[in-house]
């Protein structure tokens, strides 16, 4: 008669080497699956040509997430305070409380996100200090090979001019805000506004360019057959420019017209619309 194992007898299980082999196999599978994505991310993040785009998208995404967290936090806090206060006063005196705006400190995580976003913005402007060199090369290239269409040619020259005027003003405002060159605070604020208006002029001219190119493409029967890629690019440029336009108007006014949430959303759209295609093109 065989002995019946007691409840204290340990059940047979996988040995330590077997567990290690399974873990190793799973890690290899995970590494194999994640390596292509990591390779694509590395190509995009390490490319100097897309550095500002990466930073821009992150900068505005941080603002968007930070403001969203703050908005949800404020609603919860104010709802809780209103409910408790209303119940208390109604219980003791039959008083009805009318809701009112109350300043609520933002969550610490939102504050830290905004701090990082401001730092990224500072870095981006610093990297543009020598942007005038590239703009001058753009001007030379435009002079050497201008668009054939008269309207597109005028738009190209006007965009070159607005950007060449914009960059020195931003540089002075940036260096003055960091007290590297002596500029009064009032003049710094004015320089930021004027430079933003020059950027807004570029964006408005970009709408003219996109409209003219679409008009010419529709007239050209040959381009219609091979315009799928060009049309996708055109639509993407239109989305980016449409997101930029309210931002340029916002910064062109001393008081602004947009909420921080709207600024974050529009900036994220402008950056994401350009960053997503880079991610798709980087596929092995």
Sign of the torsion angle spanned by Cα atoms 42, 120, 260, 240: negative
Q: How much is the pLDDT for 97?
A: 45
Selection from 32-36, 95-99, 107-111, 265-269 with the highest mean pLDDT: 265-269
The pair of structure tokens assigned to 113 is 């996100």
Q: What does the alpha-carbon distance between residue 67 and residue 261 come to, in Å, rounded to a whole number?
A: 5
Q: Give residue for tokens 């190209």.
A: 156
Confidence of residue 108 (pLDDT cuts 50, 70, 90): confident
Confidence of residue 105 (pLDDT cuts 50, 70, 90): confident
Q: What does the alpha-carbon distance between residue 262 and residue 199 come to, in Å, rounded to a whole number?
A: 19
Q: How many CB atoms lie within 10 A of CB 67?
A: 21
* Total-model pTM: 0.75
Q: Give residue for tokens 């596929």.
A: 283
Task: Tell me the mean pLDDT in the region 32-53.
Answer: 67
- In tens, the pLDDT along 187-219 reads 999 999 999 999 999 999 999 999 999 999 888
Q: What does the alpha-carbon distance between residue 216 and residue 79 come to, in Å, rounded to a whole number?
A: 56
Confidence of residue 63 (pLDDT cuts 50, 70, 90): very high
Q: What does the alpha-carbon distance between residue 273 and residue 240 come to, in Å, rounded to a whole number?
A: 6
- In tens, the pLDDT along 213-259 reads 999 988 875 555 556 788 889 999 999 999 999 999 999 999 999 99
Q: How many helices (H) and strands (E) does the chain have?
A: 9, 0
Q: Give residue for tokens 């950056």.
A: 271
Confidence of residue 86 (pLDDT cuts 50, 70, 90): low
The pair of structure tokens assigned to 40 is 């694509």
Nearest CA to 274 out of 228, 245, 233 is that of: 233
**pLDDT greater than 50 at residue 1:** no
Q: Would you say 241 and 207 are in contact if contact means Cβ atoms under 8 Å apart?
A: yes
H-assigned helices in 178-227: 185-219, 221-225
Which class for 64: exposed (0-12), middle (13-18), buried (19 or more C-beta within 10 A)? buried
Q: What does the alpha-carbon distance between residue 124 and residue 129 come to, in Å, rounded to a whole number?
A: 9
């Amino acid at each position: 008669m065989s002995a019946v194992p007691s409840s204290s007898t340990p059940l047979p299980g996988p040995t330590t080497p077997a567990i290690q082999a399974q873990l190793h196999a799973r890690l290899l599978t995970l590494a194999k699956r994640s390596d292509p994505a990591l390779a694509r991310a590395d190509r995009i993040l390490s490319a100097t040509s897309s550095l500002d785009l990466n930073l821009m998208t992150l900068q505005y995404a941080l603002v968007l997430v930070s403001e969203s967290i703050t908005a949800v936090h404020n609603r919860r806090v104010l709802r809780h305070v209103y409910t408790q206060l209303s119940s208390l006063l109604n219980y003791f005196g039959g008083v009805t409380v009318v809701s009112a705006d109350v300043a609520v400190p933002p969550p610490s995580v939102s504050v830290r996100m905004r701090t990082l976003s401001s730092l990224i913005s500072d870095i981006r402007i610093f990297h543009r200090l020598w942007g005038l060199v590239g703009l001058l090369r753009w001007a030379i290239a435009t002079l050497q090979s201008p668009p054939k269409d008269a309207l597109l040619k005028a738009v190209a020259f006007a965009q070159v001019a607005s950007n060449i005027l914009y960059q020195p003003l931003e540089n002075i405002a940036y260096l003055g805000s960091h007290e590297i060159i002596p500029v009064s605070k009032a003049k710094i604020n004015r320089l930021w506004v004027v430079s933003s208006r020059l950027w807004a002029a570029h964006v408005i001219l970009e709408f003219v360019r996109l409209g003219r190119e679409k008009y010419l493409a529709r007239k050209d029967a040959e381009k219609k057959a091979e315009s799928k890629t060009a049309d996708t690019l055109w639509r993407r440029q239109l989305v980016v420019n449409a997101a930029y336009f309210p931002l340029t108007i916002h910064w062109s006014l001393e008081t602004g017209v947009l909420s921080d949430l709207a600024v974050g959303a529009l900036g994220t759209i402008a950056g994401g619309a350009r960053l997503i295609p880079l991610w798709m093109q980087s596929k092995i």
